[in-house]
Structure 1
Amino acid sequence: MVRSDAELSVRSLDVDTWPAFAELVEANNGVWGGCWCVGFHVKLGKDRTAAQNRSEKEERVREGRTHAALVFADDRCVGWCQFGSPDELPQIKSRRLYEKGLTTLPDWRITCFFTGKGLRGRGVANAALGGALAEIARLGGGTVEGYPEETDDRKVSGSFLHTGPMAAFENHGFTRTRPIAPHRWVVTRTVAAA
């Protein structure tokens, strides 16, 4: 159990933090039934297993082909925000509407968030997004896109917020660019290199 007063810190997903990331994923049924946070890397189909997704994610971590800001409470990973280039994360939701309004690809995409069971509402997504933006700045900055869900004061299941809550993006200076679903937007921000 994570203490409610535990201070949050952010670390990058890499070979050293992989065990903590894997522990959180395993404790949450592989994340949405076995995605292992590869759903924006590759097209998921019924023929892919959770074991394949886990193996693929771990291989990408070892090769430095995946990025995430992991949020820790003490020494336990409690959530994350995944980000990467469009080449690294080519699979996005609402693709048809996204491409219809596309003029230029961003340098970076922020594609998904996850917060462990019982930990929502404690600032994990906000900390993860801040950590992702800091890492993007360290990696050279550029145009960053996200695809958050607007809650419009409606109750929304956490599974629908996997692309992030609009409030977190707006708190970090993102601007709504265009809608791509009834409650999902493309938001953008430029991040200066650190």
Structure 2
Amino acid sequence: MSEIVIESASVERFGDVEHALTGGGDGASCWCQWWMLRGKDWQTTTTGQRREMLRDDLRIAPVSGLVAYAGGEAVGWVKVAPRTAQPRIAHNRNLQQSPEPMDDPSVWAVTCFVVRREHRGEGIAGELLDAAVTHARRHGARVIEGYPVDTTVKKTSSNDLYHGALSTFLDAGFTEVARPAPARPIVSLTV
């Protein structure tokens, strides 16, 4: 396996963002907008509109996504941004069990991972999470949350792991702070 290099996503690198997001799973239809849109707004947007919304998101500093490269190829993506910039989080009853106030801009959330199908199992999600923590810390995060899937409780398809696996977050030093559903903990890291 090639060395993994993580870079900030940008409009200039949008071709790489597209490549990372279209390698398997829902990335090619979601365009990492699930957490940006409430239910009715999600239902009324097209895939093309969500793609352009992501492009617009990448014009805002600090950027909300990072791209993993292996051998020069974009092989993965992670979404990391303040919770306040991801409106669906505050409206999700399960995630409201977080001990952190929903309106606190110093609380960031890692909400989406995509790893191209042919690169899964190579540790890329862990590398992306480490880089997301560094990115959030660098931009003023006090706490970083994740909403992963506990695969020891529930067998999960690769597609449903866009939330990340609990083991990946625990390996990165996160601790569980709530468990709103049997397989869906809330994890947190104070930085």
TM-score bracket for the superposition, by shorter chain length = 0.7 to 0.9
Aligned counterpart, 1:17: 13
Deviations 1:27-60 (A, max 9, x none): 54762x5111111111253321110000111011
Aligned counterpart, 1:38: 33
Do the aligned residues in 2 keep the contact of 1:82 with 1:110 (CA within 8 Å)? yes
RMSD: 2.2
Q: In the alignment, is residue 53 of structure 1 matched against residue 50 of structure 2?
A: yes
Q: Secondary structure at the match of 2:17?
A: helix
Q: Secondary structure at the match of 1:87?
A: helix
- Unpaired runs of at least 5, structure 2: none
Aligned counterpart, 1:99: 96
Normalising by structure 2, what TM-score? 0.87
- Letter paired with 2:80: F
Normalising by structure 1, what TM-score? 0.86
- Letter paired with 1:115: V
Q: Secondary structure at the match of 1:46?
A: helix
Mark the CA change 1:16 to 1:124 in structure 2 (over 3 Å): closer, same or farther.
same
Question: Where in structure 1 do 4 or more consecutive aligned residues deviate above 6 Å?
Answer: none
- Determine the C-alpha separation between the residues in 2 that align with 1:66 and 1:26: 20
Q: CA deviation at 1:142?
A: 0.9
How many aligned residue pairs are there?
A: 186
- Letter paired with 1:110: V
- Letter paired with 1:8: I
Aligned residue runs from structure 1 range 39-188, under 5 A: 39-43=34-38, 45-64=42-61, 66-92=63-89, 95-100=92-97, 102-105=99-102, 107-152=107-152, 155-188=155-188
- Which structure has greater helix proportion? 2
- Letter paired with 1:7: E
- Letter paired with 1:91: R
- Determine the C-alpha separation between the residues in 2 that align with 1:93 and 1:117: 31
Q: Secondary structure at the match of 2:29?
A: coil
